[in-house]
Structure 1
Amino acid sequence: MPDTRPAWTFTLPAALLLMAPFDILASLAMDIYLPVVPAMPGILDTTPSVIQLTLSLYMVMLGVGQVIFGPLSDRLGRRPVLLAGATAFVVTSLGAACSQTALIFLAFRLVQAIGASAMLVATFATVRDVYADRPEGVVIYGLFSSMLAFVPALGPIAGALIGNLLGWRAIFATLAALAVPALLNAAIRWRETRPIGTARRHRSVLPIFTSPGFWVYTLAFSAGMGSFFVFFSTAPRVLIGQAGYSPIGFSLAFATVALAMIATTRFAKGFVARWGIAGCVARGMALLVTGAALLAVGELARSPSFLGFIVPMWVMAAGIVLTVSVTANGALAEFDDIAGSAVAFYFCIQSLVVSIAGTLAVTCLDGDTAWPVIAYATTTAVLVSAGLALLRRRERPDAAP
């Protein structure tokens, strides 16, 4: 394993304050904009399909851009990629706020996604560089996932309030205003963490795709976050459309799932010390299946309720955190010297799995019910459990004297 640059001396809260804003902003740029999407065709004198591109292209570039910036961060370093991406995010957020035509607005959104993609790669590659062998890494991954669970719930509410009070342009000005202090903090305090010498070696990325561990743990991350994605996609239809919740009531119920994730993160470090990476993922998959079974019981009761829909998600939330807190370390364990590239492919592949398989679950099954969540969580958990069994079988001969 190559020597790395001096480890960060930040406390865990200071490290989170430095890194978390970039992770949150990348997601917030999508969710905070949603409430004004229906009005944008009239505002910019364009068609709904063009405005839809500002959403879909953002998601595409967020994933594809990581494949570009991952190798770049291995060659140039995490710090320059992060600072360039954050600067682009600030400039394009302001540009979007000042746009007068749909084409210019679309262009700024596209570059905004590129900046967000660079921020994500640099942030998670840095986590891998610094915390790969430290228990704080488990806490950071768990907290990142938990915080992102709040963004889809609270982002649209914030966007609606800002849009109603100050207009749609203020939404993008707010994104820039939030990114500026994060950028300045990083410019002053973010030190380079890329392993020394990796820029000269240019190791091939092909071993990433032939590593069974990479695929099993990447699928495990997809199982956890995909289950949450499908839940998020169906929850409004179940709770508001079927159970009659108000938007505020829905947001509060939704927030309890995020709180369950944060509560589990509090104990994640101890779980990893006791069970190891594979053991945590195995138990995470068991919790996903347990939660899916409880959702099925609630669904068969034919009366959508907090007890039948939200409480089972608390069980699944614990499984999600137990899983996503360790899967990065499992998937990237062999690739410290090309962590940027490995992180990029890790997130790109899982985003494809989640978006394709998750969308199919919601569209092919009844999205007004819990069945899409049940099907996605159960299927992926079974596949991951089978993959873990295969990994254990591969490791036994190596462990034998």
Structure 2
Amino acid sequence: MSPALVVLVLALLLGIQPVTTDLYLPTLPALTQALGARVSQAQLTLTALLLAFGFAQLVFGALADRFGRRPVLLAGLGAYVLAALGTALAPSIEVLIAARTVQGAAMGAAVMVARAMVRDLYEPAEGARVMSRALTGLGIIACLCAPLGGLVSDLWGWRAALLSTAVFGGLAFALIALRFRESLARPDPRALEPGRLVAAWGGMLRHPVFTSFTALTAAAYALLFTFLASSSFVFINVLGLSKPAYGLVMLWNSLSYIAGTLLCRRWLPRHGVPGTVCRASLLSLVGGVCMGALALAGVQAVWAIVLPLTLVMVAHGVHQPCGQTGAIGPFPQAAGAASALNGFVQMVVAFGVGAWLGVALEEHSTRPLALGIAFWGVMLALLAWTLVRRHGGAQPVANKAARSTA
């Protein structure tokens, strides 16, 4: 595959995540009311999706190491389209939660393979630059998702917005079927042996490079998920924005994220991965603490969230490409399993955040969103300045337990 095609494939596979979440966010208040659901039940349509997303990656990672990336992608994307159709037709909140759970599991195949594919084709340093280019594409997709979701929901209802995810999944399936070439040079015939797989995961969890970058990506995604899961309720129900105006807020955040991916590519050659992450974490810290302080001072205004969040989203555009490629870097022969375990940890943390938000959002205030982002901004700074600074510059050969998967 040409470099341009690789970046396009990565952007679409990684972009399926904001399509599944961001495009759906403007519809949350409307579908909650239409289906007669509570806020905590509506939150389950997001948190259950992410928990299934996390667990499914563990399965898909082993399957992708055993059979290759292409068949796993085709199966996952096919299931994603069917589940997306199910969400659009759901007659009750319970059915919607079930369909979103299946959709999240299927989404795991696309995102896991995308991360593993980068390690198949590139060394970690170059992989971070390629990943940042792909995440720029993801940012462009995310720019369109929330405004499009709000517009489609206003014109044709929330079911039409959910149907849009099936359209995107179908386009991604067609691209993979027609243009994707297998990136795994040597499938591992023993990758599905349970004992060997558990031993490999144990070895990864003991590897300081993997644990450092996985902790970073988990904190970064927890921060992002805090915003995603609470923003529609806060901006629409608490601050009184219309759905199109909320879409513009999401558009601005996506543009900030794109700026972060561009900054990442500029910083990497100068400062290396640890130095780049440390600089970005300062933005996370300043933005998060400012947002939390404004909320505690009783300032409930759109600017009090959007301005600090701009710094946070720029930093997120650095943390994700560096963190994801850094975690998988030591395991070139088990990239699927490493990608899956990294993604699983992220989603477990996000599920915990979602469970807390389901209760906290009953408070008619911006504080759950602001204080959650402040907490994770502080955690990102601590992780970057300790674990990533200490271990991030080393990419040692994977230990014996991890090498046994090769």
TM-score normalised to structure 1 length: 0.80
Tell me if structure 1 keeps the 8 A contact 2:81–2:170. yes
Paired position in structure 2 for 1:399: none
Give 2:31's aligned residue. 37
Q: Indicate how the Cα distance of structure 1 residues 305 and 97 shifts in structure 2: closer, same or farther if over 3 A, else same.
A: closer
169, 174, 178: which one aligns with 2:164: 174
- Structure 2 partner of 1:5: none
1:398 paired residue number: none
Contact 2:217/2:319 (<8 A) preserved: yes
- Give the alignment partner of residue 118 of structure 2, picking from 127, 132, 142: 127
| Cα distance between partner residues in 1 of 2:359 and 2:208 | 30
Task: Work out the CA distance in 1 between the residues paired with 2:353 and 2:42.
Answer: 25
2:13 counterpart residue number = 22
Report the Cα offset of residue 161 of structure 1.
Answer: 3.4
Give the Cα separation in 2 of the matches to 1:16 and 1:66: 21
After the TM superposition, which of the residue ranges 363-372 and 174-183 deviates more from structure 2? 363-372
* Count of residues in correspondence between the two structures: 380
The structure 1 residue matched to 2:323, chosen from 321, 327, 335, is: 327
* Structure 2, unaligned runs of 5 or more: 396-406
Deviations 1:344-384 (A, max 9, x none): 11011012123324654785697523223212211342244
Q: Find out whether 1:184 has 2:146 as its counterpart.
A: no
Residue in structure 2 matching 1:68, options 45, 59, 69: 59
Secondary structure in structure 2 of the residue aligned to 1:198: coil
- Tell me the secondary structure at the aligned position of residue 334 of structure 1: coil
Q: Does the CA-based 8 Å contact 1:22-1:182 persist in structure 2?
A: yes
Amino acid at match of 1:251: G
- Name the stretch that deviates more: 378-387 or 28-37: 28-37
1:284-303 to 2 correspondence within 5 Å? 284-296=280-292, 298-299=294-295, 302-303=298-299
Distance in 2, matches of 1:384 and 1:352, equals: 21
Quick check: 1:274 aligned with 2:267? no
Distance 1:214 1:237 in 2: 35
8 Å CA contact 1:261, 1:317 repeated in 2? yes
Q: Which structure 1 segments of 5+ residues have no match? A: 1-7, 396-401
2: CA distance, partners of 1:120 / 1:97: 22
Moved more, 281-290 or 109-118: 109-118
- The 1:363/1:155 distance shift into structure 2, 3 A limit, reads farther
Structure 1 vs Structure 2: percent identity of aligned residues?
24
Contact in 2 for aligned 1:297/1:308 (Cα 8 Å): no
Mapping for residues 237-316 of structure 1, pairs under 5 Å: 239-240=235-236, 243-296=239-292, 298-299=294-295, 302-316=298-312
- Measured in 2, the distance between the counterparts of 1:285 and 1:358 equals 23
8 Å Cα contact 1:41-1:48 kept in structure 2:
no
CA separation of 1:175/1:317 partners in 2, compared to 1, >3 Å: closer, same or farther?
closer
- CA distance in structure 2 between the partners assigned to 1:287 and 1:385 by the alignment: 13
CA contact (8 A) 1:83 1:183 kept: yes
Where 2:2 maps in the other structure, the secondary structure is: coil
Distance 2:246 2:92 in 1: 35
State the SS of the aligned residue for 1:191: coil
Does the 8 A contact of 1:227 with 1:377 survive in 2?
Answer: yes
> Which amino acid is 1:154 matched to?
P
Q: Deviations over 1:152-179 (max 9, x none)?
A: 7336415513643xx73x4454333332
